Amino acid sequence: MSSNGSYNLTVDGELRYLVQWFGEWSDFQREDFVPYLMSYLLQQTGGTVYMNGLINAMAQIHPGQDKPMSLFQCRVKLFNEWCIKWPEEFKTKLLERLEQIDSTFGTRIRTELDDTTKRTNGCVEETGTQLPNELVLGEMAEAQEPAGVIVNAEASLIAPNAILVADED
């Protein structure tokens, strides 16, 4: 223990604590942990991480000021502080250890990781699709030309039995 009362853990010790905590968490807490875990697993070294449209730094826990943080929130906060300094190989190591505790959870995380890596700019890449060649594109354009063009069309709605009233100036 250092003179300021804090413990100096190794990164291996931090990982062991997280794995132990995961084993103690309920299914609901594990679900609450998913966005933080996914953010960590998807983060690139030195890059900003986006998760569900949020920057990783914005996705931190901010409990109400009138009540203290729960034990779960404290542990997730520690995970967020620790994982930024963990070596890259810890991602695989962590996921393997979590799978040993809960194989269903591990399968779900791997599926989400696979789905996320297939997304590009919010669109899912479909495998096995090809763009048609230029000849086919030309034929499609000729077949789908509009019959006419409407310019300056205004939508108007007149109620049945409408009465026009003149303004008196």
Are residues 42 and 49 in contact, defined by beta-carbon separation less than 8 angstroms?
A: yes
Q: Among 44, 155, 138, which Cα is nearest to 91's?
A: 44
Q: Which residue has the higher pLDDT, 26 or 125?
A: 26
Distance CA 78, CA 72 (A): 10
At 56 the pLDDT is 45
Neighbours of 95 (CB within 10 A): 18
Side chain identity at residue 153, one-letter code:
A
Sign of CA dihedral 89, 57, 46, 112: positive
pLDDT above 70 for 1? no
pTM listed for this prediction: 0.57
Summarised one tens digit per residue, pLDDT across range 28-72 is 999 999 999 999 999 864 444 444 444 444 445 554 567 889 999
Q: d(Cα 41, Cα 37) in Å, to the nearest integer?
A: 6
Question: Does 12 have pLDDT greater than 50?
Answer: yes
How is residue 116 written in tokens? Answer: 């996320």
For residues 124 and 75, the model is more confident at 75
H-run or E-run covering 51: strand 50-51
Looking at residue 116, its pLDDT comes to 81
pLDDT tens sequence across 70-114 = 999 999 999 999 999 999 999 999 999 999 999 999 999 999 998
Residues in the chain: 169
Is 129's pLDDT higher than 80? no
Position 66 scores a pLDDT of 73
Distance between CA atoms of residues 100 and 94, nearest Å: 10
Read off φ and ψ for residue 6, nearest 5 degrees: -100, 155
